[in-house]
Amino acid sequence: MVLNIAAYQFVEIEAPESFVSRVREALEGLDLRGTILIAGEGINLFLAGAPADVEAFLEWLRADPRFAHIVCKRSFSETQPFARLKVKLKSEIISFRQDNASPLARRAASVQPADLARWIAQGRDDEGKRLVLLDTRNRQEVTYGTFAGALHFPIDKFTDLPAAVAGVRHALEDATVVSFCTGGIRCEKAALWMQAEGMANVLQLDGGILGYFEKVGGFGYEGRCFVFDERVALDSDLKPMPGQFAV
C-alpha cells in the first residue's frame, strides 16, 4: 500500500532558498513522489510512497523545531498517485495575493469537525445563529462534491475569491460563516482576510474537508472531495472511488 500525506504549516522561513536545498537533500534515497512548496511563509506538501519512506521524511522534518508539530492528513492507495517529485520555491505556499491574510501573525478562529457536524445537524451554531458554509475552492473542485447547501462561487482560482465574497458579504452579516477547503490552507487565509475586511463572524474549518472526513465522516457532505493527484477525488472514507484514477 502507498501512504499519502497532505500537510502544511505557516511559519517564518528566513532563508527559503536554503531550506529548499536541505529538503531536496533529505529526500535523496527515499522513494517518494509528490509536491513540496516552500516560501517565506511556510511549507505545503503532498507526498506519497512506502510508509517507511514517508515516516523517514516526516522524522527529518519534525526534527526542525519549526515543524515539530506539523499535522498530516493520511490516506492509502493501491498505486502511486503522483508521476514525479517536485520541490519548489514560491512567493506563497498558497497564492492569494492579499496583504491582510498572513497567518504568520495569527491564526483565524476555527471550528472543530465534531462541532461543525453538530451545527449542521442543528441548522445553526450553539448561539442560535444561522450557519453558512462557505466553499473557498474553485468551480472544478466543487463539481465533485461539497457540503449540502454550501455557498460557493464560479471562480477558477483562489485569487478570485475576494471579489466574489465582496458581492455577498452584506447577506452574511447575521450568520456564522464557516470557510472550508480541501485541507485547511485556503480557508485559513480566506478567514483571516474576511476578518481583516470587517467580517468578524467568520471561522475556518480546522483541517478542511479531509480533516472533517477523518474525524467525522461524511455527515452533511454530498459527493467526494477533489484532490490534487491521480486519485482525482476521495470519498468520506478517504478512498478513491472504484475506477477513479485518472489515465
Q: Where are the domains of the chain?
A: 2-89, 110-234
Please determine whether the domains at 2-89 and 110-234 fall in the same fold group of CATH. Answer: no
pLDDT of 107: 85
Residue in 211, 227, 219 with CA at minimum distance from that of residue 118: 219
Distance CA 51, CA 201 (A): 41
Q: How far is CA 157 from CA 94, 137, 138, 180, in A?
A: 11, 8, 6, 15
- pLDDT tens for each residue of the chain, 247 residues long: 999 999 999 999 999 999 999 999 999 999 999 999 999 999 999 999 999 999 999 999 999 999 999 999 999 999 999 999 999 999 999 999 998 898 998 888 999 999 999 999 999 999 999 999 999 999 999 999 999 999 999 999 999 999 999 999 999 999 999 999 999 999 999 999 999 999 999 999 999 999 999 999 999 999 999 998 999 999 999 999 665 544 3
Strand partners, 124: 130
Nine cell digits for residue 216: 467525522
Report whether 10 contacts 104 (CB < 8 A).
yes
Q: Domain 2-89 is of which CATH architecture?
A: 2-Layer Sandwich (3.30)
> Which one-letter DSSP state was computed for residue 145?
E
> How many other C-beta atoms lie within 10 A of the C-beta of residue 144?
16
pTM for the full predicted model? 0.91
Distance CA 203, CA 159 (A): 19
pLDDT of 247: 33
Name residue 225's amino acid. Answer: C
pLDDT of 98: 94
Q: Which residues are catalytically annotated?
A: 181
Homologous superfamily (CATH) of 110-234 is: Rhodanese-like domain (3.40.250.10)
pLDDT of 100: 87
pLDDT of 108: 86
Total residues found in the chain within this entry:
247
> How many other C-beta atoms lie within 10 A of the C-beta of residue 76?
12
pLDDT of 246: 43
pLDDT of 242: 63
Residues whose CB falls within 8 Å of the CB of residue 242, separated by 6 or more in sequence, listed in order: none
